């Protein structure tokens, strides 16, 4: 099982996933997920799961949001294959 901290940015022009290097405000590397979906009715969370699954090459059923359902900072779990 792999646990990740991610930052979600909704309402962007395109969907993409990238890493943000550690800086003064965050000592850890953070995975950033930009999505075109608005933060309405769980649409962003569903898209985040889809994008993370594609990024890591796993099935969507292997990806879960552990914490941060209503926050832009989320804790994601990727279950083993």
Q: What is the pLDDT of residues 10-45, one digit of tens each?
A: 999 999 999 876 655 556 678 899 999 998 888 999
Q: Is the distance from CB of 66 to CB of 3 less than 8 angstroms?
A: yes
pLDDT at 26: 59
pLDDT at 3: 86
The pTM (predicted TM-score) of the whole model is 0.84
Q: Tally the domains of the chain.
A: 1
Which residues are registered as beta bridge partners of 56?
Answer: none
Q: What is the DSSP string of 5-58?
A: EEEEE-S-SS-EEEEE---SS-SS-EEEEE-SS-SSTTHHHHHHHHHHHHHHT-
Structure tokens at 66: 């552990």
The whole-angstrom separation of Cα 33 and Cα 7 is 6
CATH number, position 38: 3.30.1200.10
Structure tokens at 41: 């009715």
Q: Residue 13's domain spans which residues?
A: 2-78
């Amino acid at each position: 099982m792999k646990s990740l901290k991610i930052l979600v940015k909704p309402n962007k022009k395109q969907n993409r996933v990238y890493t943000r290097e550690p800086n003064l405000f965050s000592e850890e590397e953070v995975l950033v997920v930009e999505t075109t979906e608005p933060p309405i009715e769980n649409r962003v969370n569903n898209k985040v799961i889809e994008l993370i699954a594609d990024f890591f090459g796993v099935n969507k059923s292997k990806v879960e949001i552990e914490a941060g359902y209503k926050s832009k900072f989320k804790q994601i779990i990727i279950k083993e294959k």
